[in-house]
Structure 1
Amino acid sequence: MVIDKRSSTGNEWYVIQVPAGKEVALCETIRRAVGPDVLRECFTPRFATERKVRGAWEQAESLLLPGYIIAVTREPVALYERLREVREFTKLLRMGGSFCPLAEDDRAWMAMFTNEGDRVIPMSMGVMEGDRVVVFRGPLKGREACIVSVNRRKSLAFIELDMCGRRVTTRIGLGIVRKSQCQGEAKTT
């Protein structure tokens, strides 16, 4: 097994594949099994959005990466070895023979909009200009190129992230408003 030399420079965000629907429970199990000497943080990132319930919009949260957990550590080999103690399926993702952290730009983007202990990415707001989305507020501002498609009815944008050499499509909250609704806001942001 090859040790990833980048891990010795600081805490990296490694991706653990787990059964979908068990992410939250397995975060706690992994924290206990791995311990604070190896694991700085373990979380399943979420995103804020809105859902229409009985005709009214309500705030909601959903998993950003269903079936995946992020573990923050300097020691991916120790993390891998201690994950063997977890009885549920857990797989620390690798590329080739080495463990690979989440891509730096995706990690930095997620870290910019969340805090340790509260990994919920806020909802973005934008407008449609023809077939193009222009985001004027939120984490997708300036990252419109990563938007693959938009579901306006569900306030969702489908985006692509790099995870260990693979392009993964996921969803994130994006409200699309009429241009007249955002004129004042677009000028202030």
Structure 2
Amino acid sequence: MWYVIQVFGGKEQTTLDLLKRFVDEGVLQEAFVPRREVMRRNDGVTTRVIEVLFPGYLFVVTETPRELCAQLKGVPAFTRMLGGSDKRFIPLNQSEIDCLEEFCGVNRVVEMSRGVIEGDKVRVSEGPLKGHEGIIKKIDRHKQCAYVDMEFMGRTKSIKLGLEIVRKNS
């Protein structure tokens, strides 16, 4: 099952490294920080950068959430498993897992998508948003990104993903 651990924002990678050092491999099957590829402009130069998709959160795969929670107390950083109370932990539901796996792939990075605007519709020609044009809520052509609504821990969250618009047809 997949669970979410809250950490300090900006400290996701550092906490992930500590988690891998202080938690037994038998308890922690996988731990990762989902990321996205976006374009950033700095001093007039546009470059591709990789940034955290969900700031302040790590994702873990474990079959023993109680044991993981107990071992998190030994990690020298703020970590808190999200979910219920009274030592019950709520895993991500299967649709959330499927969505993350589809967009992030095995490298856990949502890559840039490319597309065109035809009239008032977007047609994505390559990338993870291809075939998912219906979930795009807003496009920012200047920042080369699209905003999509994604289910996360039972709530709808607006997520920014990289989308390069190569041309606009009227």
- TM-score category (smaller protein): 0.7 to 0.9
TM-score of the superposition, structure 2-length normalised? 0.85
Q: 2:100 is matched with which residue: 85, 100, 110?
A: 110
Deviation of 1:96 after TM superposition, in Å, equals: 6.4
1:68 aligns with 2:57: yes
Counterparts of 2:79 and 2:120 in 1: how far apart (Å)?
A: 40
Deviation of 1:157 after TM superposition, in Å, equals: 1.6
Structure 1 residues 160, 39: closer, same or farther in 2, change over 3 A? same
One-letter code aligned to 1:32: R
1:16 aligns with 2:1: no
Counterparts of 1:53 and 1:108 in 2: how far apart (Å)?
A: 35
> Does the 8 Å contact 1:49/1:173 carry over to 2?
yes
Counterparts of 2:95 and 2:131 in 1: how far apart (Å)?
A: 13
Aligned to 1:30: 19
Structure 1 residues 172, 95: closer, same or farther in 2, change over 3 A? farther
Structure 1 counterpart SS, 2:8:
coil
1:140 aligns with 2:129: yes
Counterparts of 1:39 and 1:138 in 2: how far apart (Å)?
A: 30
Aligned to 2:158: 169
CA RMSD of aligned residues (A): 2.1
Structure 1 counterpart SS, 2:10:
coil
One-letter code aligned to 2:94: E
Counterparts of 1:79 and 1:46 in 2: how far apart (Å)?
A: 23
Counterparts of 1:96 and 1:162 in 2: how far apart (Å)?
A: 21
Give the aligned length: 167
Q: Deviations over 1:138-157 (max 9, x none)?
A: 11122223323222211122
Q: Deviations over 1:86-131 (max 9, x none)?
A: 242212111466422233233223324422xx32121111222344
Structure 1 residues 101, 134: closer, same or farther in 2, change over 3 A? farther
Q: Percent identity?
A: 38
1:86 aligns with 2:86: no
One-letter code aligned to 1:166: R
> Does the 8 Å contact 2:18/2:76 carry over to 1?
no
Aligned to 2:90: 100
> Does the 8 Å contact 1:103/1:163 carry over to 2?
no
Deviation of 1:179 after TM superposition, in Å, equals: 4.6
- Where do 5+ consecutive residues of structure 2 fail to align? none
Q: Deviations over 1:126-180 (max 9, x none)?
A: 2223443332211112222332322221112222222221222221111112157
- Where do 5+ consecutive residues of structure 1 fail to align? 1-11, 181-189
**Whose helix fraction is larger, Structure 1's or Structure 2's?**
1
